[in-house]
Every structure is written in C-alpha cells, then in structure tokens.
A and B are shown apart, each in its own frame.
Chain A
Amino acid sequence: MPLIPSEVAIAGVYFPPLLFAAILGTVAAIVTAFALNRYRLSRFFYYPPVVFLALAVIYTGLIGTFIIPV
C-alpha cells in the first residue's frame, strides 16, 4: 500500500508530518548516541557531534520514508 503524506491532527490542530518524523529521528539519534557512549564506540569517530547530526538526519529520512510519510 503506498504511503501518502498527511497532516497529523491533535485536538483539531493540524501538525506537519515532518515535525513528528524529525522529533522521532532526533530521539532515535539520542538513543543511538547514548548506546555508543555506553559501549565506548564513540571513540572511533573523529567528531561525534557531527555524527549525531548525521544520525538525526538519516533517522528522520528513514522514518519519513517508511513510518510517517512526509
């Protein structure tokens, strides 16, 4: 079934789907960063803050493509 983008209605107020995709993408990036810190895998990156930004963008893209169409 094709995923069609649509606004998300909360109490009669319409929110853009990208907002939710971005929030979930950022949360997923935070969880990943926490796990990488926890298991000392972050030391293999040159500059982790940029990696965090990249992860947030990738997760937002994936969520926007497969879960909440944007």
Chain B
Amino acid sequence: MGPLLLSRRAKEAIKTGLAMAIAFAIALGMGWDKPHWAGFAVAMISLTTAGQSLNKGAMRMFGTLVAVIAAFTILSLFWQDRWPLMLALSLYVGFCTYMLTGKRLQYFWFVSAFVCLIIVVDAGNTSESAFQIAVERTQETAIGILVYALVAGLLWPQSSRGDLEAASRKLLAVQHRLYGTYRDLMAGKGNAEDSRQLRMQEVQLVHQMGSALSAATTDSYTVWEARHRWRRFRDEATDLGEALEGWRRSFPEVRDLDLATLLPNLDAVCDELEARFAEIERMLDGEAPHRQTRAIDPEVDRRAARALSHFDRAAVAVTKAQLDRLVGLTSALFDVIRDIKGFAIVPIGRPHAPAASRRGLAIDPDRLTAAIRVMATLWVAFLLWVYVDPPGHQTFVQLAGTMGMAAAMMSMVRPSTMLLPFALGCAFAGVLYVFVMPQLSGYGELALMIFGATFAIYYLFSEPRQALAKMGAIVPFIVLISIENQQTYSFARYANSAAMILLGISLVVIMNYIPTSPRPEKTFLRLFRRFFRHADFLLSRIALDWEQTKGLAGRWKTMFYRNDLWELPSKLLATGPQIDYRQFPDNTPEQVQALTASLGALTFRIIELGDMRERPQAQFLVQELIADLRAWRLAVQEQIQIWADDPAAAARQDIDIQKRVIDRLARLEARVEETFDKAGAGELSAADRENFYRLLGAFRGLSEAGIDFVRIANGINWGKWREARF
C-alpha cells in the first residue's frame, strides 16, 4: 500500500480542524469562560502558509492587547456614564474603522476595534468583571494563536518562500512582456488594448508579491536575512510598473515622429533594456547572469529636434525622460536581484524617487464615510439595546459593530450578500446543536465533531473567493454550539442567537444605504463626479501666476485633492465590474473599463502638470505666455465643470471638442514659436527650455487625454445609470 497522498487543501483543513479541537480542549480544561474565543482565534488566523497565519496571528494578538488598553482607558474615564462612554467607544471604533480601510495593518485595526467593543459593552453590563473579561479574551486569543502556530509548524509545514519566489518570477515575466508589447507599440505595431490584460495581471502580482514577502519574512530565515533587499526589490518593481505605464502614455504624442532619427541610440537602449529583463529573469530562476548591465543614456539628436514644432520637441523630451527612468530602474533591479541571489554583493544606492503618486497625510473621503457609517451602526444598535432589547442583548451591539467593520473592510462586497451564507451557517450549526450534540458523551466525541465540522468547512470553502461562505459557516458554528464545561441545551438560546446574527447583519445592510445608495452604478457616478470636481480644483492651482497658499490649510487642501484624484481611477476600476450589466445592456464592461483607463490617463496628466508647475520656469517665458496658458487652462476647467455636473454632456461634445482643442493647441504653438524667436541670445538656458518643453508636453498630453475621454464617454448610456432604482 502506497503512502497516503493528501491535497494541500485537505492538509490545511486537517490542520485547522485539529487546532480548533485542541484549542477548545485547553480552554475547557483550564475552566475558562467562553472557550469559543480560543476557537475564534484559530478560525480567523488559519491561512494557507505558516508565515501568513503567523502574521495574522501576531496582528490579532497585538490588536487584542491594544484593545484591552483602549477598553480600560474608556471604562476608567466614563465608568458610570453610559452616553459619554458610548461616545468615546464609538469615536475609537470610528478611528479604527478609518485605519482598517487603509492599506496597512487592516486586521490589527479590526481586532483592536472589535475586542475593545466586546470588553467595554460586556463590562458595561457587569462592571465587576471588566478585568476578568479582558484577561480571558487575551489568554484565549493567545492560546488559539499558539495552538495553531504549533500545529502549522509541526504538521506539514508550508513555507511562503516558494510563493515569494514564484510571485517575483511571474511579476518580472509579466513586466518583461509588457515592455516587449510597449516597444512594439512605440514602433507602431499592435494597440494599447492588447496590453490591458497584462497590465491588470501586473497590478495583481505586485499585490501578491507584497503579501508573499510579508509572510516569507516571518516563516523563512533566508528571506528574513535579506528582507531589506527584498523590500527594495518590491519597491523598485512597483516603480518599474508605474514607469512602464508612464512610457506607454507618452506614445500618442510621438506617434507621428521619426524616433529613430530623433533618438539615434533608441534601438541600442531598447536592446539593453531587453537584455536586462532577460538577465533579471535568469537570476530569479537561480542561474548566474550571462552579462552585466552596460551604462547607456538615451540621446537626442539636437539638430533633428530643432526642425520640430515646439509641441513635438516637448513630446521628445518627455519620451527621453521616461526612457531615462526605465534605464535607472532596470539597473537598480538587476543589482538588487544579483545581491539577493548571491551572485555578487552590490552596494545598493538610494532608492529612485517614485513617480507621481500619493504624498503626505491626507484624509480619504470614502474611508471617512465608512468610519461614520460604522459609528452610526453602533449607535443605532446601542439605542435598540437600551430601548427595544433585541435578541442577544449586549451581544447584538457587539455583533452589529463588528459586522459593520467587516463590511467596511470588504468594501467591494455588498453587505446583503452576507445574509444567505450566515443564514445557511445558522441552519448547519442548528442541526449539530439540536440533533448531534445531545448524543455526544465526553470531550473525545465532542472533539471529533468539532474537528469534522471545521475540516468540512475549511475543505469545502478553501478558495479565497469563498471567504464569505467560509466565514458564514464557521462563525455561526462556533457561536451557536455554545460549548461550555457544564453543557446545557436550549432551543430558545439557539433561536435567539441565530436571530441576533441575522438581525445584526440586516442592520448593517440597512445602514449601508445611508447616506447614499450603495448600488455600484450610483457609486460609479458619484466617484466620477468627484473626480472632475477635484480635477477642476487642481487645475486652478497650476496657474503660473498662482501664489501657493503659505498656510497649512491651503497646502493640506491641495494634497487632499491630489491624493484623492490619484486614488479615484483605481476605485472606479474596482467598482466597474460590480455593475449589473444585465440591467444596463447599453453599456458593456469593456466600455466601462476603457472609460476608467481614460480617467487614469487624465489623472496622470493632471498630476504631471502639477509637478511640472513646481519646476522653475524662466521669467521671460512666464511673462510672455501667461495669457495664452491661462486661456487654455480656463477652457479646460470650464469643460471639466460641465463633465462634473453632467457626464452625459461629454457624450454630446464628441466632434466639437476635438476641433476646439486642435485649434487652441495650434494657436498656442504659434505663440510659443513667436516667443522663442523674440528671446535674446542667452536669455533662455537649456534647462529653461527643457522645463518649458515638459510643461508644454503635459498641457498637450492633458488635452489629448480629454479628447480620448470624450470619445469613450460618447458610447456610454448615462441616463439609465442615473435613474433611481431599489
């Protein structure tokens, strides 16, 4: 008989089931109240690799400790005063919700909010037990994490190092293919649509590699030792993705130019980049590089460039800057991978300045809305507890708050979709509680049932896309079977707890409609209008004669609008696929994706224009051209205001706007020509000219991105999206 071969998902399900049974056994053996808290810790931290689980376990543990401190602080400040106590608690939960909707340490903030909620609300009911509740919660969480860590470490240990290396190889392979596609695109072969799938894959792989790195740093000593280099690799690879995207966006402006003449060593530069990608991939496969990087700089033929129009010279300057960036980033990636793989010890220089992206600390309005919604949910649940006393009593408040936070954390999942999995989970737990558990005798039999049920849930719902179904099954199972040392059975208790779970989720569903409809098409329209409002504000700040507000408020406002504008295309991209296209057959997912991509291009151009505005410009050029640039800017702002008020207006302007933009650019071109002719010898330095060309390039890029947007918006049926629906 051959060895027993188990699939990875079966092994993971066995580990979780075993850890759950052991955690319950310890909690019951120690005589702790609420042994299901230990079971919860196991259920929540169980992930596919030891590193991922340990990271999540550490966040759960630290989150619990922070929550205990926060809970004691709130309780000690407002011990006898329920309204200030609730106010302080809701503010803390609101703060944590804002943090958990961000990109870092989401689970830590989630745990620190709901554990604080549990302690404060439970202790508020029976004040003498506050310390006992906090200690029990902490020790049972710790035991759950410890048990799972031991089981995961001893039984079929699964390291994340392989995942990290696989994700890195895939990421670089996709970036290499993107580079090849873009090189063809620059040479006039293919079209940008061909690369869309690759671009989306690249974004996913960057995220996947980040998660794998964080897990592998925990469960692999080799990765831990080289963690700084790996993080550098992650950052450089992310920047490379952005640089490739910026390079692609500059193609429309150089489409009609003879780049082979204007950039004489373009082929050599592209060949060198190609060779670097191949060598990096080779090293990631574990082979030594065949060659080193060669220093090469893209050169511009100045004589050929002088024959071009000013806008075309600007476009060449932008392309050269993009190529410079690619050369620098591939060289840095080559060095860092050579070091990680041990082919050479290379002193790693300073990281490259990232491309235009988020800056500083600014509030995200969507995250703030989510935080306010959770606070409102908590208040409504609290008032229901005080004045109506729903099933579950204080547990209803804890559950509604926790579910509200979970809904905020999974913002792309509609809360109403939680109802069915949790209802089925309640029914499943009910069958076990009513028909199976009364037949069991002793912990051995109970442990078998716990193991079997947990194994079944984790085996059947092992895919990441089944996470909601898994939670819907395991949470009611742990809560409703009410395991205690003195086990009693009460159908009324089961029915009340099940009703509490479903009512708590229903409250979250209702609160999700406040203040605005959560329907994806409405969210899309709301974000779309906000995009143009913010674009309008930022464009008003790029006037060459605009004095930057010295005050903190002015700077913060600009930063807020800039950061939000930067984030909006990705939010729109995530919202688009959720629209029910069967209800709106006139609009296709491809159209919406193209529309979002055109908004991404607009964002890039507006941010680029803002960055160019910050570069020093020659006083002479500013004086001469300020009126023309202002006229251009005001015309663009007027257009943007129309789009913000009525997206359908963009659709009505298709041909008209193209003609107007082309006329305006031609007029601006003539004025620039005139001004440069007027400039005396030595009045403009090479840097002045380059800065001005890049500014002009950004103006032209924005105009063309606007035309592209109008062309795509023309095909969308906006009226149907705007109609009120249930």
Residues on A facing B (Cβ under 8 Å): 13, 33-34, 36-37, 40, 42-49, 51-53
A-B pairs with beta carbons under 8 Å apart, 7 shown = A13-B491, A34-B726, A37-B583, A42-B724, A43-B725, A47-B517, A47-B724
Q: Check if B724 sits within 8 Å of A46, measured CB to CB.
A: yes
Question: Which residues of chain B are within 8 angstroms of A44 by Cβ–Cβ distance?
Answer: 724
Whole-angstrom distance from the CB of B130 to the nearest CB of chain A? 35
Question: Which residues of chain A are within 8 angstroms of B510 by Cβ–Cβ distance?
Answer: 53
Q: Check if A42 sits within 8 Å of B491, measured CB to CB.
A: no
Contact partner of A42 among B492, B495, B726, CB < 8 A? B726
Q: Binary interface profile of B, 580-598, with partner A (CB < 8 Å = 1, else 0)?
A: 0001000000000000000
Contact partner of B723 among A13, A34, A42, A52, CB < 8 A? A42
Main DSSP-derived SS at the B contact region:
loop
Contact partner of A45 among B492, B513, B724, CB < 8 A? B724
Question: Which residues of chain B are within 8 angstroms of A48 by Cβ–Cβ distance?
Answer: 517, 724-726
Question: Which residues of chain A are within 8 angstroms of B583 by Cβ–Cβ distance?
Answer: 37
Q: Binary interface profile of B, 485-521, with partner A (CB < 8 Å = 1, else 0)?
A: 0000001100100000000000000100100010000
Q: Give complex CA distance A54, B116 in Å.
A: 35
B interface residues, how many (CB within 8 angstroms): 11
Residues on B facing A (Cβ under 8 Å): 491-492, 495, 510, 513, 517, 583, 723-726
Q: Give complex CA distance A44, B725 in Å.
A: 9
Contacts A49-B513, A49-B517: A13 and B495 contacting too (C-beta < 8 A)? yes
Q: Check if B726 sits within 8 Å of A51, measured CB to CB.
A: yes
Q: Give complex CA distance A52, B519 in Å.
A: 14
Q: Give complex CA distance A44, B724 in Å.
A: 7
Q: Give complex CA distance A44, B726 in Å.
A: 11
Q: Give complex CA distance A51, B517 in Å.
A: 13
Question: Which residues of chain B are within 8 angstroms of A42 by Cβ–Cβ distance?
Answer: 723-726
- Total A-B pairs, Cβ < 8 A: 32
Nearest A residue to B583 via CB reads A37
Question: Which residues of chain A are within 8 angstroms of B492 by Cβ–Cβ distance?
Answer: 13
Q: Check if B726 sits within 8 Å of A52, measured CB to CB.
A: yes
Q: Check if B726 sits within 8 Å of A33, measured CB to CB.
A: yes
Question: Which residues of chain B are within 8 angstroms of A45 by Cβ–Cβ distance?
Answer: 724
Question: Which residues of chain B are within 8 angstroms of A46 by Cβ–Cβ distance?
Answer: 724
Nearest B residue to A30 via CB reads B726
Q: Give complex CA distance A42, B720 in Å.
A: 12
Nearest A residue to B510 via CB reads A53
Q: Check if A37 sits within 8 Å of B726, measured CB to CB.
A: yes
Question: Which residues of chain A are within 8 angstroms of B725 by Cβ–Cβ distance?
Answer: 37, 42-43, 48
Whole-angstrom distance from the CB of A58 to the nearest CB of chain B? 15
Contact partner of A40 among B491, B495, B517, B723, CB < 8 A? B723
Nearest A residue to B506 via CB reads A26
Q: Give complex CA distance A40, B725 in Å.
A: 8
Q: Known pairs A13-B491, A43-B725, A53-B510. 18 more at Cβ < 8 A?
A: A13-B495, A33-B726, A34-B726, A37-B583, A37-B725, A42-B723, A42-B724, A43-B723, A44-B724, A45-B724, A46-B724, A47-B517, A47-B724, A48-B517, A48-B724, A49-B513, A49-B726, A52-B726
Interface-central residue, B491, B583, B725, by most chain A CB under 10 Å: B725
Whole-angstrom distance from the CB of B433 to the nearest CB of chain A? 14
Question: Which residues of chain B are within 8 angstroms of A37 by Cβ–Cβ distance?
Answer: 583, 725-726
Interface-central residue, A46, A48, A49, by most chain B CB under 10 Å: A49
Whole-angstrom distance from the CB of A19 to the nearest CB of chain B? 9
Whole-angstrom distance from the CB of A16 to the nearest CB of chain B? 11
Whole-angstrom distance from the CB of B501 to the nearest CB of chain A? 15
Whole-angstrom distance from the CB of B4 to the nearest CB of chain A? 43
Q: Give complex CA distance A36, B513 in Å.
A: 18
Nearest B residue to A46 via CB reads B724
Question: Which residues of chain B are within 8 angstroms of A49 by Cβ–Cβ distance?
Answer: 513, 517, 726
